[in-house]
Amino acid sequence: MSGKVALVPTMGALHAGHLALVAKARQRGDQVAASIFVNPTQFGEGEDFGRYPRREDEDLRMLEGAGCDLVWLPSVSDIYPDGFSTRISVSGVSERWEGEARPGHFDGVATIVAKLLLAVRPDAAVFGEKDFQQLAVIRRMVSDLGLPVDIVGLPTVREPDGLALSSRNAYLSPEERQQALCLPRALGAARAAIISGTAVADVLHEARASLRNGGFSRIDYFALVDAATLEPIEDSKGEMRLIAAAVIGTTRLIDNLAI
């Protein structure tokens, strides 16, 4: 590929959010490459690796229509050949939140992203901010290893009613899909309350209660964190993020909002 290359790593099951990543990549490179790989090492025991949606033919049509120049669909043996024994672990930003809820997840993420970046050698790689902690882990990894790639974040793409686009939304029943709106609404209400000066502890307590009342069976976290370090903060200051992960039915959803 000639000129600057921008990479969009995906696990397939593409939606409008992925196509927005491709559009952003077109702004950052002369050529756009995408990868489709459902990475087994970032799924924990009992998670949805086996049922994660796979529809490569449709994905390829969508990427072609979006103007993607190259798509790479490696096999598991391409990425993890016999004898593969290396993993990348990023401490600090990976340890709380998703790191606690999904042990080993970010080792899998950091390792696969490093493998993709080293294989494609892009000038830029584009990731969505919906997975905000993942983006922070990747940026830390790229900085620490001195990889010559610009990591670009794209704000979360949402449905008209506010639900963050996610491949896992396909798991939701119609009733659960409506109940899931409690998550972005709770984040929005919490942001407004924090901006208005309400005590952070009270805001977070109310947000968790609203999710439970709205049908979420488990709340892994609903927190206000420093946007750079992802450490929890008790008083409103500087660049912040509200981050949340909760389960409705059998589906675990994550979301976040900047403050």
DSSP-derived secondary structure letter, 98: H
Chain length of the chain: 259
- For residue 23, give the 3-state DSSP assignment: helix
Task: Answer yes or no: 18 catalytic.
Answer: yes
Cα 216 from Cα 61, distance rounded (Å): 35
Q: Which of 15, 18, 105, 205 is catalytic?
A: 18
- Residues annotated as catalytic are 18
